[in-house]
Structure 1
Amino acid sequence: MASGLLATRGTLTLGLHFQHVCRSVLVTQTRQKKRWMKAYTRIMDAKLKLDGPPPPMRRSEKPNWDYHSEVEAFGVRLQENFQLERLKTAFVNPCYVRLEQEKRGALGLETEVAALVLNDNTELCARGKAFTRDFLSDWCRASYPSLPDEGVAAVLDHLMGFEVVCRVAQNLGVEDLTMSAEFPVPDEVLYGTFCATVAVLEESSGPHRAGLFLRDFLTTQLIGKDLFDMWSVVNPMGLLVEECARRGLPLPEPRLLRSAGASTVLPLFFVGLYTDKKLLAEGPGETLLAAEEEAARVGLKKLYGYTENQRPLDFSPALLQTSQSNTHALSSG
């Protein structure tokens, strides 16, 4: 009986010790999300559907903005040397000057007082656009010497188009620094601001650095671009015949190479073009005429040296140093 009392006493002592230990342990429960988060998110989603997305804001209207520092950092980011005051002028558009003068006139100021002493980029825009067109034209003729004048003009129009230039300007951060009356900045204003920036770079670092700037940022937009996406040719077979006659090659002869599913709703034909018993090009199509036109386009790209497997253009620094040394030798000699 004594042993039983001892066992019961030991059990009670162990239980009291366990309760004492449990009281000293602080158990907390953590939640990944607050209780009010679900209702708040639902209300904000409903408000966004009713009101729509917020209007875009200029970067200058947001906090932590220093225009002078941003303009100075623009050239450092691009690793180019700009004249700071001329670069600021390149970002000032005529529409912005007119808007500021109208605001000052609305305040009741006199004409002499309301006049804004600020030069716009009209002259720089015209000079930069002319320099860009001349450089890209020379670059296209040097890179694709076999391309005819119509093809060079088509490639030049593509590189000088609003879509390409504005996309490059936005990626370089020109839009954030552009002083424009409207926001988002219209394509015409952004296009002119980019051309004015090129003109300032030509003034600051010379035409050689400005040409390298255009080569690095504009001509690289041709990567992965098909020639006939930029150059619309109505009769590619007729153009191929003219090109072969001009080069003294035999006229191309189309031949059916292979076909599949000719009696189905999805036929496929492969037509090859032969000159002097040699395969010049082949192309697929849903009809024989479409396959012949595609083969003619492939043949034209081979003759013009604008193919998908062409040798890539060399943008290496070694070529740049060589060209600089050759230019220096010619100028000194």
Structure 2
Amino acid sequence: MFQLQSKMKFFKQIHCLIITRAFSVNTPNFTKRWVAPTLRELRHRRNKFKSDVFTARNTFLEWNYNAEIFAFGKRLNEDFNMKHLQVAFIDISYTNQEQHRQTTLEFDPPLNMQNNRELVEIGEKCISDYVQSYLQFSLPKCPQEGIIKIFKWLTSEEMLSNISLNIGTKDLTLCAENCPSQKVLRDVFVAVIGALSKSADDRKVYNFVRDFICTQLNQKDLSEIMNFDNAFEELKTVCKKREIGEPTPRLLAQNAAKTVLATNYVGVYGNQKLLGKGFGESINIAIEAASIDALCKIYGIQYNRKTFSFDLQS
């Protein structure tokens, strides 16, 4: 590790020296011919070292794990129980690895290590309870199928791991791999919520979930999450259930027909009222776009709806 840092420092010093010599005030106003190939070679060598070795933050000499755990809680402005917060960062793969190592070294008795499985279960319940309640309150016209789709998008592994990465859990996570995977980062974030549930009251837990998870809905096009496969058929079903009337598509305008720049403007009507409108290269595509627009208005998820309120208290 020390040799790698020394080599990287040496490359940086050489890079600065080359730049200084190439652009010295004592030389004419042009770059030396040897500068470009030398810089390319140095960059190639730097990239080679970076790709071969991943430098984890906890391998640095000045790393203080307990201080970093304490600072993590203070950065989030939450009062965690330090014992629960430390357990939240211990993945089950790390405890399995340590138990295997103790068995190999014949520890007697073996050390009993905790992992974050219990905290993950508690955190998942907190997320499920609050996020679904928040969505049902904020989108009262949206059907339960739509609420479930939005909930799955908000609590997907990719979303939660991205939130976890951005609040700084990567360097604190203890797992078998040197670089935590998406699943490990997701579990750590959920376990942090579980640790907060054991350290504070429900109001703080729900506010934490709202601030970090529900805010991902800000300026998001919900129609993309809903992913309407056959919008016109779904619109027929919805109109029948809500007694709106049979939806009827009508061509409102057409431009450049039978050319590559053809544009069709279609509106969908029900009970002689305009439900939605949309554009398309063909009439069928325009009907689908108009049906999606109509469904978004019926469900209350259109793009010009009232924005989500993130000041709601639990």
Q: TM-score range by the shorter chain?
A: 0.7 to 0.9
Mapped contact 2:218–2:308 kept (Cα < 8 A): no
Deviation at 1:44, TM superposition (A): 1.3
Deviation at 1:62, TM superposition (A): 2.7
> In the alignment, which of 220, 240, 246 is matched to residue 251 of structure 1?
246
Partner Cα distance (1:57, 1:308) in 2: 44
The one-letter amino acid paired with 1:95 is S
The alignment partner of 1:33 has SS state of helix
- Confirm or deny that 1:262 pairs with 2:260: no
> What TM-score do you get using the length of structure 1 for normalisation?
0.79
Aligned to 2:187: 192
The one-letter amino acid paired with 2:45 is K
Partner Cα distance (1:285, 1:258) in 2: 11
Distance 1:136 1:46, change over 3 A: closer
Aligned to 1:304: 299
The alignment partner of 1:269 has SS state of strand
Partner Cα distance (1:32, 1:190) in 2: 41
Deviation track 1:50-91 (CA, whole Å, cap 9, x = no partner) reads 667343222101343211111111111111111011100111
Mapped contact 1:266–1:286 kept (Cα < 8 A): yes
Aligned to 1:33: 20
The one-letter amino acid paired with 1:251 is E
Partner Cα distance (2:201, 2:44) in 1: 56
Aligned to 1:203: 198
Count of residue pairs the alignment pairs up: 286
The one-letter amino acid paired with 2:108 is E
The one-letter amino acid paired with 2:177 is E
Q: Structure 1 stretch 59-68 or stretch 79-88: which is displaced more?
A: 59-68
Deviation at 1:217, TM superposition (A): 1.0
Task: Please list every run of 5 or more consecutive structure 2 residues that lacks an aligned counterpart in the other structure.
Answer: 1-17, 23-31
Partner Cα distance (1:190, 1:203) in 2: 20
Distance 1:203 1:307, change over 3 A: same
> In the alignment, which of 58, 64, 69 is matched to residue 71 of structure 1?
69
Distance 1:258 1:183, change over 3 A: farther
Partner Cα distance (1:216, 1:152) in 2: 19
Aligned to 1:3: none
Aligned to 2:147: 152
Deviation at 1:224, TM superposition (A): 3.1
Higher relative contact order (CA 8 A, sep 6+): 2
Aligned to 2:90: 92
Task: Please list every run of 5 or more consecutive structure 1 residues that lacks an aligned counterpart in the other structure.
Answer: 1-30, 324-333
Aligned to 1:315: 310
> What TM-score do you get using the length of structure 2 for normalisation?
0.84
Aligned to 1:25: none
Mapped contact 1:97–1:118 kept (Cα < 8 A): yes
Partner Cα distance (1:87, 1:293) in 2: 49
Deviation track 1:283-325 (CA, whole Å, cap 9, x = no partner) reads 1111111110111111111111111111112224xx54xx6xx
The one-letter amino acid paired with 1:34 is R
Partner Cα distance (1:313, 1:58) in 2: 39
> In the alignment, which of 156, 163, 169 is matched to residue 168 of structure 1?
163
Deviation at 1:223, TM superposition (A): 2.3
- Confirm or deny that 1:241 pairs with 2:236: yes
- Confirm or deny that 1:120 pairs with 2:115: yes
Deviation at 1:48, TM superposition (A): 4.4
Q: Which has the larger radius of gyration?
A: 1
The one-letter amino acid paired with 1:88 is Q
Deviation at 1:40, TM superposition (A): 5.3
The alignment partner of 2:274 has SS state of strand
**Superposition RMSD on alpha carbons, in Å?**
2.3
Partner Cα distance (2:50, 2:114) in 1: 38
The one-letter amino acid paired with 2:84 is R
- Confirm or deny that 1:136 pairs with 2:131: yes
The one-letter amino acid paired with 2:62 is N
Partner Cα distance (1:55, 1:148) in 2: 50
The alignment partner of 2:141 has SS state of coil
Partner Cα distance (2:238, 2:77) in 1: 44
